[in-house]
Each structure stands twice: as C-alpha cells, then as structure tokens.
Amino acid sequence: MQLSKSEEELMNIVWKLKKAFMKDLLEAYPEPKPATTTVATLLKRIADKGFIGYNNIGRSREYYPLVMKKDYFSKQVNGLIKNFFNDSATQFASFFAQETNLSKEELEDLKKLIDNEIKKK
C-alpha cells in the first residue's frame, strides 16, 4: 500500500520521533504548520492503512510506526524499478548513474557499495 505525499511527510515525522503525541507531531512540522484537524485526518488514514498504531494514554493517543522506514522505502524503490524500468535493476542503476549528476566521489562510493555486495554473494 502506498502513502500520499502528505501522508508520507507525516510518516517521516513519526519514523523520526519513534513515538509521539499530536502536540509532538505538530511541533515537528516545518512552517507553515498544518491545522490540527488536518494532522488528525492524516493520522486516521495512515492508521487505517496499517502504517501506524497508537496507545491510549488518558485522553491522548501516543502514535508509533508499525512499518519501518527501510521496508517502506524498499517497496517503493522496487515498485519504481518494476513500473518504470521494465523490472530491470540494471536499467535503473544506469539511469540513476547518468541522470542524477553524481560527482566522481559519489560514483566511487556507489561502486564500493556494489563491490561489497558482490563479495557477500
């Protein structure tokens, strides 16, 4: 399941804070901050999608992630590769290396990462 851009923005805050009440979430937003009702609606949608859970503490809810950021990001990247690069990681890597204006140092760092993964296999 996928999150909308505004849901993803809120989810990033939840991932960063690990546990948070509504006031914590509102404080973490950059200016201009959304309305409390907007955040409440987003929280409900994200919870309905199974991305967050909450504990009732008194009259407040403490929210926490049910899906780890790495898992969500991995699924999104795999979907991108499948939908835009004919399910070819090689096509994706070629596009990424050529079209993102990476510096020589960044390309060398990527090469080291790939070399390390090759050694593991």
Which pLDDT value is given to residue 74? 87
User: What are the C-alpha distances in Å from 113 to residues 7, 26, 101, 106?
Assistant: 31, 37, 18, 11
pLDDT in tens, 77-103: 888 888 888 888 888 888 888 888 888
Kindly indicate whether the domain formed by 5-65 is annotated with CATH number 1.10.10.10: yes
Tokens of 4: 């909308």
Tokens of 101: 């204006």
Q: What is the pTM of this model?
A: 0.76
Any alpha helices (H) in 1-121, and if so which ranges? 5-17, 22-28, 36-48, 69-84, 89-99, 104-120
pLDDT tens for the chain, residues 1 to 121:
789 999 999 999 999 999 999 999 999 999 999 999 999 999 999 999 999 999 999 999 999 999 999 999 888 888 888 888 888 888 888 888 888 888 889 988 988 988 898 998 8
Residue ranges covered by each domain of the chain: 5-65, 69-120
